[in-house]
Structure 1
Amino acid sequence: MDKRLAMDLQEMQQELIAIRHDIHANPELSMQEARTSKLVARKLKQYEFIVTEEVGTLESVPPGDRSIALRADMDTLKLVEESNVSYTSTVPEVMHAYGHDGHTAMLLDAAKYLSNHRNSFFGTVYFIFQPGEEKLEGAVAMMNDQLFERFPFDVIDGLHNSSGKPIGTFNIRFSPMMAASDRFLVTFQGTDGHGGAYSHLAMDATVLQAQFILALQTIVSRNISPNNAAVISVGAIQGGSFNSLNVMPSEIRIGGITRSFTKLVRDIIERRIKELVHGFAQSFGCTVQIEYNRLGCSTC
């Protein structure tokens, strides 16, 4: 790293840490980032940016005709923080455990540095602070609000911190870095029954559930080439009651996510999940409903 750059960043370090601690102590859920947005806007104005909602604009001196956007996310999810740090969350059951406090602080740090060195680049830099990343609402809302039309940049870059990586290193690749994301929710419905004397008259929902979850894992191992990466994970199962352990449930629900990098792999995963869903319903003599939603595409 250039010595002058290193010295400048060192001088800015305490402010960066303070911003990150402040955001961490005051986490906000998706599409509720009012306080964080105000903090970001206040800092950008302090750094002499043109601020429009969640976007700060900085032009070089002299101006140039190229443009780039840098993006960070601001929200978090419901989690209970169990730490003893001085900046622990002050919001019950909400915690910055995914690093978005760091993302926001880092982008503000970059904004301050470039504002202080407008002659070090040639063009326009847009700093985008995205709300609602965790619930997948923020990006869509910003695009529907004509983000790309109002801020016509040539390229957009982002990053995500990663624990376990050596400090001061970056991981990049010359193909999609972030996988496409899909979600599925499957509901099997059949006949309930007593788990003792009349179990033979009921749909064996729990066995169906177990076998179906195991079968999902064979999609990646047997239908996807070892040269490609993919993930299928079940994150939620529901069925029966701990208050009625002798009753076999008539309905079970299974929900999860998939990750893939190419359209081919994405298509295979969706097709095979739906084939397994209907195959299991037929073999267990029940009906089934499936909701399968394609969310974000893979990005470089």
Structure 2
Amino acid sequence: MPYIQGRRCKLEPDAKLLETARALKDQLIAWRRDFHRHPETGYEEFRTSSIVADHLRALGLEVTCNVGKTGVVGLLRGEEPGPTFGLRADMDALPIQDRKSVEYCSLVPGKAHLCGHDAHTSMLMGAAQLLTGLGRPKRGNIKFVFQPAEEGLAGAKAMMDDGVLENPKVDAMAGLHVFPSLNTGTISVTKGVAFASADSISIKIIGKGGHAARPHEAVDAITVAAKVIDAIQHIASRLVDPLEPVVVTIGKIQGGYMGTAIAPEVEMVGTVRALTPELRERMPGLLERIIRGVTDSFGASYEFKYNMGYPPVVNNEDMVDFLTKTSERLFGDKRWKYAKPSMGGEDFAFYSLSVPSVFFRLGVHNGQEYTGYPLHHPMFDLDEEALPYGVAMLSAVALNYLSDSSSIHSSI
């Protein structure tokens, strides 16, 4: 493990952290590709968490397993008491078939790392290796949080319920997400609300089945469902202030038996995203009003469920300022920028509601087609040259927080 001479929580070594992280690139790629071949979905990350725990133990960290079922926590304890800074990575994959033709494609049918969590895990493992190689912090602690089940199953909350922010108490946190819309190694961050709330909906349209040639004797649930899908899109265009972003997406629809039969029922599931708590609270009522009106007009009925999922991710403004200054010291002023909020959801939101936090984006697009597919696409991949940038940034944020903690605390 490379060592940066004279570290001891000073800011000057920042420029060397990227060089040190780059020395880990081959190992980072090996980890990332291994996780990519062996994806595990939420609360099933047994193999992944075992690899992570073994690595942290080998580094000499205090390791706690089974936090939030399959989460792992490593603690690098400082020489003297002080603040504790948390670094988080998510470990779970998606229940989507990998369509890439690469030697490291998923070996598990119907599961794949198509959101970059394999890279997140690898980068935090690299940051743990880099930081432990520098020796114990003079003051304060660094907590490495490897989280399960980010993809819709609230693994962050499960880990918090198991005390991940305690013993020692976490004073602030940082996390990252790879972004294919940003150039490799670019850091992007949003002040205030950074990511939208992410709620789920399920709708059942109940009609009356019949023969396809005699539609007047039936109530076509597929036709009604189509009208419902079209109508709920008018929430954003006609029922909500156009300056207030909201997204309603139906991602799955099922119904019917065959081409010559009218479907008696259709089931749909989707997601609702909003940036403000006020609009989020309005959405169940707006949706049901439209669903009721459409189904009534066609003589159908419905069942509707609205499940509150993740709140918005809110970046602490002082932590954002701290992050941008750290990025400038590390990379210069050419590799970071402020970004608009994303309508994507992230359960890092639960941490951000509890402690001052910052969640930032890391660019992984190198200009080639294979790195340009969006998150959750069956062909999603990333430029692995970005991995050392993530390791360096996570490491620098933790080091500089412990060094600057008195001034940061006074503003937070």
Normalising by structure 2, what TM-score? Answer: 0.68
Indicate whether 1:109 and 2:126 are aligned.
yes
**How many aligned residue pairs are there?**
296
- After TM superposition, give the deviation of residue 17 of structure 1 in Å: 1.5
Alpha-carbon displacement from aligned partner over 1:85-142 (angstroms, at most 9, x marks no partner): 3322232332212111100001111111211224667411111111122241423332
Matching residue of 1:131: 148
Identity %: 34
Q: 1:14 to 1:274 in 2, by over 3 A?
A: same
Which structure is higher in RCO with an 8 Å CA cutoff and minimum separation 6?
2
Contact kept, 8 Å, 2:249 with 2:272, in 1: the verdict is yes
Measured in 2, the distance between the counterparts of 1:15 and 1:190 equals 57
Report the Cα distance in structure 2 between the residues aligned to 1:194 and 1:87, rounded to whole angstroms. 49
Q: Distance in 1 between matches of 2:187 and 2:271?
A: 27
- TM alignment of 1:75-94, pairs within 5 A: 75-94=92-111
Match of 1:205 in 2: 221
CA distance in 1, matches of 2:106, 2:136: 39
Q: Mark the CA change 1:92 to 1:204 in structure 2 (over 3 Å): closer, same or farther.
A: closer
Shift of 1:296: 1.0
* Contact persistence 2:204–2:304 (CA under 8 A): yes
After superposition, residues 12-23 of structure 1 pair within 5 angstroms as 12-23=24-35
1:238-285, Cα deviation, whole Å (9 max, x unpaired): 22122xx22212212222101111111112222210111111222122
Measured in 1, the distance between the counterparts of 2:184 and 2:243 equals 30
Q: Distance in 1 between matches of 2:101 and 2:218?
A: 51
Pairs within 5 Å for 1:246-285: 246-285=260-299
**Residue in 2 aligned with 1:218?**
234
Where 1:148 maps in the other structure, the secondary structure is coil
Contact persistence 1:59–1:118 (CA under 8 A): no
Report the residue type matching 2:175 in the other structure: G
Gaps of 5+ in 2: 1-12, 66-71, 315-412
Superposition map of 1:30-179 within 5 A? 30-53=42-65, 54-60=72-78, 62-118=79-135, 122-179=139-196
Q: Does 2:198 correspond to 1:187?
A: no
Q: 1:83 to 1:264 in 2, by over 3 A?
A: same
Q: Which amino acid in the other structure matches residue 309 of structure 2?
A: L
Greater Cα shift, 139-148 or 248-257 = 139-148
Contact 1:223 1:268 in 2 (8 A): no
Q: Secondary structure at the match of 1:267?
A: helix
Where in structure 1 are there 5+ consecutive unaligned residues? none
Contact 1:189–1:252, Cα closer than 8 Å, also in 2: yes
Aligned to 1:295: 309
SS at structure 2 position matched to 1:108: helix
Amino acid in the other structure paired with 1:116: G
> Does the aligned pair in 1 maintain the 2:207–2:218 contact within 8 Å?
yes
CA gap of 1:121–1:8, structure 2 versus 1, over 3 A, is farther
- Identify the residue that residue 5 of structure 1 maps to in structure 2: 17
Cα deviation, residue 173, structure 1? 0.8
SS at match of 1:162: strand
RMSD of aligned Cα (Å): 1.9
Moved more, 120-129 or 167-176: 120-129
Shift in alpha-carbon separation, 1:125–1:88, aligned structure 2, 3 A: same
Q: Deviations over 1:19-49 (max 9, x none)?
A: 1122112211221111111111111112221
The alpha carbon displacement at 1:221 in A equals 1.4
